[in-house]
Chain A
Amino acid sequence: MSLLNTSFWEVFKASFSPGVWKEIWPAALDTLYMTFIAALITLVFGLLLGIIMTLTAKDGLRPVRTFNTSMGWLVNCLRSLPQMIMIILMIPVARMVLGQSYGINSCIIALAASCIPMYARIVQSSLLEISKGKIEAAKSMGSSNLQIVLRVLLPETLPSLIRGFTVAVIAIISMSALAGNFGAGGIGDIAVRFGFQRFQHEVLFACVYVLIIIVQIVQFAGDFASKLILKKRHLI
């Protein structure tokens, strides 16, 4: 059913038919799986990278100049690649690591490679938000750098880290749709194959609903969690 010869209303009604959703459900689950795993990897490595970059910066807790500069340079390089190019670049890497260059697992590598540097930068800017005074107070009580990171830096900036993570997860979802075009499967794959190549616009519509719902849920969860924490701490 195409918008070219059918009315919008007809296509809209058809987008809820069981036939369409039989295609959509497994793809939606694939997208959720890709997003979940990639988000987990991004969280761990992005957080680590962000913390390391903040600590080794010029006025950080443990300045290491050359290391920090090269780290920043690497992150900038990775970030300057458009998502599509990153996906193509990661095809040989996926083949090397997993022995297969297509499928949802291979796509996760590309998603992580693209989103880790992004989340690292978000983490960095969140961590820089903390007032110098709190760090100084922690130092004056004899905290080690590790204690400052784990007991002061991360808990104090948690709401901001959560909001940043929400942004990263949504970027992963949108990128996973793009990756569908390169053999990753998931909602993006369905949208391109049915909606673009076969003019089955009712399927395209259904894909849009799924993406909107996922993004809304992620955004709501992120906002809710960070607001809850701020409220608990009497900060709003």
Chain B
Amino acid sequence: MLLTERRGYIDCMMLEKCCNNAARRKRTMSELDNSAEAEKPYIDIQNLTKSFTVKGERLEVLKGISLSICKGDVFGIIGLSGAGKSTLARCINRLETPDTGRVIIDGVDILSLSKSQLRRERQQIGMIFQTFNLFEAKTVYQNIAYPLAIRGVKKEKRDRRVREIAEVVGLQEKLSAYPAGLSGGQKQRIGIARALANNPDILLSDEATSALDPQTTLSILELLKDINKTMGLTILLITHELDVIKYTTRNMAVLEDGVISEAGRTGDIFANPNSATGKMFLKVYSELQESYVQGGGI
């Protein structure tokens, strides 16, 4: 396991070098010094724990998660329902405040930010959801313009950006429509456009394709890969679908009951899964594939 992690790390490092040019974030001098060391991962999660109290019972969801993700990476987190995947993603933009641990993004400790600093930081972290969470009172245009509008971006600049990003996700024809009248795939495209409008550095995808049919899923994943390539965006993909991970990510981690049971290059883990969940996923996956081939049902 250590070996695979190491290899994944080296791979990450090479990627980081390529993507450093694409870094748009303004860095202070001290941060520049840090990046010169090139040792620092872009998203660094250290020893994260989180528990909820449900009906008087303490429920530990995250039990000490440590994870580092490189800039420009497409990183997948897979796990069963209730493993804590969503909670982990929500800790990154502090929609959920962890009990202990640190989340450091590009040298900034997210948990130490004040409320207004956090709001500014969140503008650099896009997020898309399984249920899309679009504003039904707003047109597609207004949905995409929302993050710009709350930041006070000037109207002409906002208009230009909305049209630009709508073209990236292929929605330029639908700008005046309301989301409720569109298909699931189109809705998720709005979600992606809205998340990207601010030109963020990171995109968190919380089960973004889980409510979509296979073909639409494929087109959304294509889009994500494309965005990753053209914009140098770091993408964190939370999912329970093996296909999604395999198709999209370069590195991945398996989350098992609140702990990371393995992490490394996606190809390596698929070739040689060590954790119980990883093995189980692959077993079910291969069995399913077999039953497709045999054309059999249950």
Q: Hey, which bits of chain A sit against chain B, CB under 8 A?
A: 131, 133-134, 136-144, 147, 151-152, 155-156, 158, 232-235
Contacts and interface: CB of A to CB of B under 8 A. Distances in A.
User: What is the interface of chain B mostly: helix, strand, loop, or mixed?
Assistant: mixed
Interface in B86-138: 93, 95, 118-123, 125-127, 129, 131, 133-138
Contacts of A233: 136-137, 178, 180
Contacts of A143: 119, 150
A142 B133 contact: no
Given A139-B95, A142-B150, A155 B123 contact: no
A235 B180 contact: yes
Given A140-B127, A147-B150, A233-B180, A134 B119 contact: no
B120 A142 contact: yes
Contact of B127 (A134, A137, A156, A158): A137
A141 B178 contact: no
A141 B135 CA distance: 13
B135 A142 contact: no
A79 B151 CA distance: 41
B240 interface: no
Contacts of B136: 156, 233, 235
Contact of A134 (B118, B122, B126, B135): B135
Interface residues of B, number: 32
B181 A142 contact: no
Contacts of B149: 151
Contact of A151 (B93, B123, B131, B146): B146
A139 B137 contact: no
Interface of B: 93, 95, 118-123, 125-127, 129, 131, 133-138, 146-147, 149-151, 177-178, 180-181, 194-195, 198, 204
Contacts, number: 75
B158 to A, nearest CB: 14
A142 B127 CA distance: 11
A172 B127 CA distance: 45
29 contacts: A131-B131, A134-B134, A134-B135, A136-B95, A136-B133, A137-B129, A137-B133, A137-B194, A140-B93, A140-B126, A141-B122, A141-B123, A141-B127, A141-B147, A142-B120, A142-B122, A142-B147, A142-B198, A144-B150, A151-B149, A152-B135, A155-B137, A156-B136, A158-B137, A233-B137, A233-B178, A233-B180, A234-B180, A235-B136
Given A133-B131, A147-B150, A158-B137, A140 B178 contact: no
A155 B149 CA distance: 15
A147 B122 CA distance: 15
Contacts of B198: 141-142
Contact of A131 (B95, B122, B126, B133): B133
Given A141-B194, A142-B150, 6 more contacts: A133-B129, A137-B134, A141-B195, A142-B121, A142-B123, A234-B180
Nearest to A145: B115
Contacts of B129: 133, 136-137
A232 B123 contact: no
A112 to B, nearest CB: 29
A131 B178 CA distance: 17
B267 to A, nearest CB: 31
Given A136-B95, A151-B146, A142 B137 contact: no
A234 B180 CA distance: 6
Contacts of A234: 177-178, 180-181
Contacts of A140: 93, 95, 122, 125-127, 204
Contacts of A136: 95, 129, 133
